[in-house]
Every structure is written in structure tokens, then in C-alpha cells.
A and B are shown apart, each in its own frame.
Chain A
């Protein structure tokens, strides 16, 4: 009988797992591309300068922070604009990416209730969009380095690895926090406060040398401390990270990605009920 054909869908054998979700995402890669495209095109669709704002935005923030803080930190940090911009790019990527993952899942929820879509697609596309923005914003960084006559080191070639580590960490954290935000709507608001505090606890606008040795062990718990370091060392200090510097970053990135992915997918059968 023709019904011996394999079912396309059988609820008895269907379970969303970390692995199966990865395969589904592979099948929906065209949607992933379309969502990233949509977010980049629509963000500045009505503005005259358009996508250029992706580059102008961190430049503007950098100028303000340089103007405000250069008197405090100038002596401690030689090329302060480069220092601040290299940290700011990392932080912007993280905060924009994770926030977009939250709003993406909330938006996507209205679709998840009606049609089947692998639920990770919203978080992954949010980080994908942030990644495009990060790469674009490397252009103004290089420009500022030229203008500030900062040295260009060979160690800049390490940046792709830094970007990979940061992306993995941000994706893992973004999936985790967006999943929480579905179950507890207050999380999205709380997260904004947390982000502000977190940013000041990470050496982005102030130099690491200002942190007293007493507090250093506490600073080193902060994963974003390591992520920023992966960028600052090759851009700013002109050297590759040592193994002791690289391993904590690698551990945070891979650990957060695995935990975030597993946590998110373990809840994914509930999103259509909850969002």
C-alpha cells in the first residue's frame, strides 16, 4: 500500500533536540539570509545616509567619549580614540546582538504560533545582522587608526579568531536570554539595566591599568573582559594573546554557545504556547 511511505511528520518520533535543530536551521538557511538582509535594509531605510550610520554611530560615540574622558585617561592610554573604539565595537556587537535576539524571538513568536519555523532562526539571524555591522564598523576603526597615527601590527591578522570567539559567546548568551525573556517578560527590561552595569564593569572606556590589583580576580570572572581583550591585544598592544589569555576566552565562548543552544532548544516546543 502506498501508505507504507514514510510520514513527513510523526509527532510520536518528533522531538526538538540540539542536533535536530541544527539540521532544521540548515534547511532554513535561505530564511536566515532573508532575515539578515531585511534587518540591515530596513534599519536605516528612511534615513538619507542609510547603512553609513552603522559606521557613523560608533564614531560619534567614540568622539563624545574621547572628548569627555581624554583628560582623565590620556596619560594612561596613548591612542585613546583607538583604545575606546576597539572596545566599543565589541560592546556594541554584544549588546545589539543580544537585544536583537530578544526582540527577534518576540516578533517571531507571532509567526511561531501559526506556522512551523525552527525557532533558533530568529536568534541566529539577529547575531548575523550584528556581525555584518561589526565588520562594517571595522572600517571607521582603521580610519581612526590612520588619523591618530596609531601603529598597525601584524597581530591584526588574529582578529578573525577574535570575531569568531565573540560571535559564539554572543549567540550563546543571546539564545539564553531571549528564551528567558519569553517566559519572564520583565527580563527584557531588567536586561537593559544589567547591560549598563555590565558595560561599566568591563574596561571599555577606562584603561585596565586603573583597576587595582585587589579587584583584578573579580574582573577576570567577567566573560566580556576576555572578549574585549581578544580585540585589544592584537589591535592595540600589537601582540597575539598568550595561551593563558586565550583559553579563558575560548572556554567562555564554546561553553556559552553550547549551553545557550541546548537551553534554547530544550524549551523550543513551548514557545508556540508561550510567546
Chain B
């Protein structure tokens, strides 16, 4: 019991330490306005419905099937991205492979952003749904 109490105290110490570190400003906004105050090192998790979209996209890109890729897009963005996909000379399958190693950098119930790394360059893509959990691609 005494040991458990001791461990709990250390747990609280860790919690407070993190809180303290998180609130020590490295520099004020005025000093460095080009270094905006950002969020925190949050851990996000991909829900099953988001994963379903990711799987569909991976399949579409790896099979180089442009029609399937466009089917994953939100209607509002299709006109913008259709010519990009249609006219690209880049490898769709390379994008699909990168998608398998995607890193989720933000997610809430309506919007998600991922980082993909291809040839050492980081690109971002975004998924969204309109409150109905039907995730679609809105940017790649």
C-alpha cells in the first residue's frame, strides 16, 4: 500500500513536470511572431472509418486506378483535383506505398490531416466528413 502511494506520488510528479514544461514559453510571440504558438505533441488515432478510406486509397493508388482515386474524393473538391490526377506523370503506386506509412498529425470528428513522405519530401493530405462519419479525401 505504501509502495502504491509512493508510485502515485511519482506519477503526479511526472504529470506536473509535463504540465510545467508545456507551459514554459521558449520565446514570446512578439519576439518571434514567425514562430507561431502551435498545439501540442498530441497523439491521434485513426478510427476504423478513417482507416477504411485509407485502405481504399491505398488500393486505388497502388492499382494506378485514377477513377477509383477520384471516387474517394469529396464532391466539392473533385473539379479541382480531377485534372491533377488525370494529367500527372508521377507514380500513383508510389503514393499508395507512402500512404501505407502515413502519419496522422491531426484528427477530430470531422477532419484529419496526414503526412506522407516520398523521396524524403513530406506532403500533407486531408480527409473530412460532413458529420456523418463518411470520410472522403479533400486534399492530396
| A pairs with B | no
